[in-house]
């Protein structure tokens, strides 16, 4: 049976500081966590068509390169009126041109423009988070969580990261960008995926 032991050293396979903070918080201080960025590990190309596929790809790359058990997240925003876009391309929608840094203010404007062009009044959307834990040259465990809600423009709130300022979760009037981090961590797609992971591995 695969189990993660308390105090075990894990690599969080991310170069995103916001995502690294959320992963560390959701691990409840149970493990010693270092990031792929701090270890100088390269970011693999996310070539899979699903969140699970990309999470597994990133976890496998970090585990095999570091020799440590790695945890990876692949997450994104899916907009119903846009046929599920940006989906697995959520981070790429934040790049205005080849070689430019990610700019999620630009990405949110792009979503708003695409919705206007669609002519649909539907603003429903959902976040998906896939989590994968990989052992070096060994097995992988992967799970997925989702949180549903709707989009609101203009963006509101300076907490969180990515598309958080335009996403309002069901049952609330505030965007993820306006929620206290602890409130977001209690209901987010990442929190739901972590609950499944905890049930599987500790």
Mean pLDDT of 133-141: 95
**Domain 9-201: CATH class, spelled out:** alpha beta
pTM value surpassing 0.85: yes
Q: Closest Cα partner for 6 from 34, 28, 26, 24?
A: 28
pLDDT at position 2 over 90: no
Residue owning tokens 């989009």:
151
Residue owning tokens 């990989």:
134
Mean pLDDT of 79-95: 96
Active site residues: 74
Q: Closest Cα partner for 82 from 134, 120, 26?
A: 120
Mean pLDDT of 62-78: 95
Torsion-angle region of 30 (φ positive above 0: left; ψ -120 to 50: alpha; else: beta): alpha
Task: Provide the residue ranges of all domains of the chain, joining segments of one domain with +.
Answer: 9-201
Both structure tokens of 135: 């052992």
- Characterize 151-170 residue by residue with b for buried, 16 or more Cβ atoms within 10 angstroms of its Cβ, and e for exposed: bbeebeeebbbbbbbbbbbe
pLDDT at position 21 over 90: no
- For all residues of the chain together, what is the average pLDDT? 93
Mean pLDDT of 37-63: 93
pLDDT at position 1 over 80: no
Pick the range with the lowest mean pLDDT from 2-11, 63-72, 116-125, 142-151. 2-11
Distance CA 49, CA 65 (A): 23
Rounded to whole angstroms, what are the CA distances from 158 to 23, 110, 161, 163? 19, 19, 8, 11
Show the beta-strand stretches assigned E in 135-200: 140-151, 167-169
């Amino acid at each position: 049976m695969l189990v993660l032991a308390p105090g075990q050293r894990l690599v969080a396979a991310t170069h995103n500081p916001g995502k690294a903070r959320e992963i560390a918080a959701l691990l409840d201080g149970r493990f010693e966590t270092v990031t792929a960025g701090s270890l100088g590990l390269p970011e693999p190309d996310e070539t899979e068509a699903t969140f699970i596929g990309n999470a597994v790809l990133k976890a496998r790359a970090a585990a095999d390169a570091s020799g440590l058990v790695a945890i990876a997240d692949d997450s994104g925003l899916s907009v119903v009126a846009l046929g599920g876009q940006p989906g697995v391309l959520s981070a790429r929608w934040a790049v205005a041109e080849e070689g430019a840094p990610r700019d999620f203010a630009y990405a949110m404007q792009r979503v708003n423009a695409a919705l206007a062009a669609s002519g649909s009044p539907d603003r429903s959307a959902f976040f998906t988070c896939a989590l994968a834990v990989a052992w070096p040259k060994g097995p992988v465990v992967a799970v997925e969580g989702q949180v549903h809600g709707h989009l609101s423009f203009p963006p509101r709130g300076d907490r969180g990261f990515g598309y958080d300022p335009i996403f309002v979760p069901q049952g609330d009037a505030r965007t993820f960008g306006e929620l206290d981090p602890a409130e977001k961590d209690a209901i987010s797609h990442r929190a739901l995926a972590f609950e499944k992971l905890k049930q599987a591995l500790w």
